[in-house]
Amino acid sequence: MSMPFYVSPEQLMKDRADYARKGIARGRSVVVLAYADGIAFATENPSRALHKISEIYDRIAFAAVGKYNEFENLRVAGVRYADLRGYSYDRSDVNARGLANAYAQTLGTVFTTESKPLEVELVVAEVGATPEADQIYRLSYDGSVADERDHVVMGGQAEVLADRLSAGWQPGLDLAGVVRLAVDVLGTQAEGDPRPLDPGQLEVAVLDRHRPRRAFRRLGAPALAELLEGSPPDERV
């Protein structure tokens, strides 16, 4: 009779974590930045249909890197959670912290009980009435949650890009400033040389604290081109 194959719990968790990290690193980076009027999200994504940045609820948005089918399922679950809670109680009871806790439970359960972890990393952000009230939560594949401030980079060469983002970000930047910074950071290559990015290659959205109720707004290629050139964007885009 052959002996059963044994793997220690420590080695099993390490293998799962390495597997998830490698899958996430293959994805294109997502940058999340706070600015004077809200929170901006940017990523390199030439697809106009498969979004990595999406609205969840009135003042809450979602950004992800990793396997599309896995984080899309999480996004849909988040929308359902928010809708149900807002309908059952009050719209003001739906917040980013509650949504982040729900995601953390799902990610943690899959990581510890399933044979394969989810190859995803998420940001759940909520824009407040003031910059001090903004909330940005970063969730890892194992369900761990980090309460971030000011800016976040996920996926790709996150460590290199985070250093460049920290060097360029400052409080009070306007929308044009954070968009230019995000494009500059996303265009950074491993060697450190800049790589030009066309507005059509980018997916950019904002949570604008001055918009009534629904704060989420996507910025199309024409609006991005105007911001990168220094002129104000058309609010209708």
Which three-class secondary structure string do you get for 80-115?
HHHHHHHHHCCHHHCCHHHHHHHHHHHHHHHHHHCC
Break the chain into its structural domains and give their ranges: 24-235
Tokens of 30: 């997502």
User: How many whole angstroms separate alpha carbon 52 and alpha carbon 44?
Assistant: 9
The domain made up of 24-235 has a fold known as Glutamine Phosphoribosylpyrophosphate, subunit 1, domain 1 (3.60.20)
User: How many whole angstroms separate alpha carbon 230 and alpha carbon 224?
Assistant: 10
So what's the pLDDT on residue 187? 86
Spans of the chain below 70 pLDDT? 1-5, 189-193, 230-237
Give the pLDDT confidence of 71-96 residue by residue, as tens digits. Answer: 999 999 999 999 999 999 999 899 99
Let me know: does 209 contact 37? Beta carbons within 8 Å: yes
67 burial (CB, 10 Å; 0-12 / 13-18 / 19+) is: middle
3-state secondary structure of 145: strand
CA 76 to chain centre: 15
So what's the pLDDT on residue 208? 95
User: How many whole angstroms separate alpha carbon 105 and alpha carbon 144?
Assistant: 9
Tokens of 207: 């949570």
User: How many whole angstroms separate alpha carbon 58 and alpha carbon 4?
Assistant: 52
